[in-house]
Chain A
Amino acid sequence: MTMEKLVEKYFRPGRLPHIWCPGCGNGIVTGAIVKAIDKLELAKDDVAVISGIGCSSRASGYLDFNTANTLHGRAIPIASGVKMGDPRLNVIVVTGDGDSTAIGGNHIIHAARRNIDLTVVIFNNNIYGMTGGQYSPLTPIHSKATTAPYTTIEPAFNIPELVKAAGATFVARATTFHAQILADVIAQGIAHKGFSVIEAVSACPISFGRQNKMGGPADMMKWQRDHGVPLAAWDKMTDEQKEGKFPIGVLHHDTSKQEYTDAYDGIIKTAQGGK
């Protein structure tokens, strides 16, 4: 389906143009999410999109599914409640790097540990954009931020490694330059039964790019093109060649672990049998 038709079908009418800055990657990631949903042919009523707070979390307001724009950092616990209430729903969490790994950092590791069937799409723009460019746990070391005028001294998280170690059973990464791969891995994440995390590397030209002299939106996407390496090529590279670059594609997929709402169903049956 063309993007024009996807917008007609899955966006709330009359809401465009959206609020995001010129060249912001959030629109591209949002487009990839609806492409993924369309690819899986999910009925709109069978999808819930739950977001936190931040620029990216505004996405839920444009989409015509069951949606909730919730509290800063708390999208995952609220999405967990939605999933527990109706496990048949496809629950997608829309969140930013600050929302999910700083204020919501505790929630993401425990949801991963439980392997609850949510699909978390992290719009990683390396910064707190909405509030004016404060550094986040995903701001690369030695970057400028409004809270780090002399550059940051903290290394950034590696999202895929973090959530994999915590127990996530599907982990992928893509960029807004690689928008088609992004839509494909989101679709695979939704189809996977278990806790899925997709890191969407996205440009914030206004609050991150400008401070760090990264050029305009297209320059930031060229950076993604030149640094994001599809897994097949990544595996053939030497450590030297990998320096400063990152792999994209499905990085981890484990179907052997029990999913949380399934396990909980078992508890319900046991409890009912006991009375």
Chain B
Amino acid sequence: MNLKIYTERCKGCGICAAFCPKQILKVSEIEKIEVLDDASCIKCGQCELRCPDFAINVVKEEK
């Protein structure tokens, strides 16, 4: 799993989806973010960087 979502924090603003270079994020009908294809995530971190609600996180491998 590359992405961890705190659904209760997400307000469905769509910022992460707009800037994801792989276009694998989508705001669902109930205005929550949905990961369409976790395996294609390149972990660039842009979604996490710009989410105003601290709702989407890139999972870092434990060292």
A: which residues have CB within 8 A of B? Answer: 2-4, 7, 16-18, 20-28, 31, 176-177, 179-180, 205, 216-218, 221-222
Bound CA span A179–B12, Å: 19
B1-39 Cβ-contact flags toward A at 8 Å (1 or 0): 000101011011111011100000000000100000000
Say whether A177 contacts B58, CB under 8 Å.
Answer: no
Given contacts A2-B58, A7-B54, A218-B14, 8 further A-B contacts (CB under 8 A): A2-B60, A3-B48, A3-B51, A23-B13, A23-B15, A27-B52, A180-B49, A217-B13
Bound CA span A216–B4, Å:
24
Count contacts between A and B, CB distance < 8 Å.
70
Residues of A close to B4: CB separation below 8 A: 4
Q: How many residues of B contact A (CB 8 A)?
A: 24
Q: Which residues does chain A contribute within 8 Å of B58, judged by CB atoms?
A: 2
Contact of B57 among A3, A205, A218, A222 (CB under 8 A): A3
- Tell me if A18 and B53 are in contact (CB < 8 A): yes
With the chains together, A256 CA to B6 CA distance in Å? 47
Q: Would you give the shortest CB distance from A196 to chain B, in whole angstroms? A: 23
Please tell me if the beta carbons of A22 and B11 are within 8 angstroms of each other in the complex: yes
Partner of A221, one of B9, B50, B54, B55: B50
Nearest Cβ distance between residue B30 and chain A, in whole angstroms?
A: 13
Provide the bound-state CA to CA distance between A179 and B19, in Å.
13
Q: Which 6 A-B pairs have the closest CB atoms?
A: A27-B52, A218-B18, A23-B13, A22-B11, A22-B13, A4-B57
User: Bound complex: CA of A221 vs CA of B13, how far in Å?
Assistant: 12
- Residues of chain B within 8 A (CB-CB) of A23 are 11, 13-15, 52
Q: Which residue of A4, A7, A28 is within 8 Å of B52 (Cβ)?
A: A28
Instruction: List A contacts of B14 (CB < 8 A).
Output: 23, 216-218
Looking at the assembled complex, report how far the CB atom of B42 sits from the nearest CB atom of chain A, in whole angstroms.
16
Q: Are B48 and A217 in contact (CB under 8 A)?
A: no
Choose one: B18, B49, B53; the contact of A16 (CB below 8 Å): B53
Most buried by B among A3, A25, A180: A3
A36, chain B: closest CB distance, angstroms: 14
Q: Find chain A residues with CB under 8 A from B57 CB.
A: 2-4
Complex Cα spacing A28 to B18, Å: 16
Across the interface, do B19 and A25 meet the contact criterion of CB distance under 8 Å?
A: no
Distance in angstroms between the alpha carbons of A31 and B18 in the assembled complex? 19
Q: Are B12 and A2 in contact (CB under 8 A)?
A: no
Most A CB contacts (10 A, CB to CB) among B8, B11, B18 go to B11
A26 lies within 8 A of B9 (CB): no
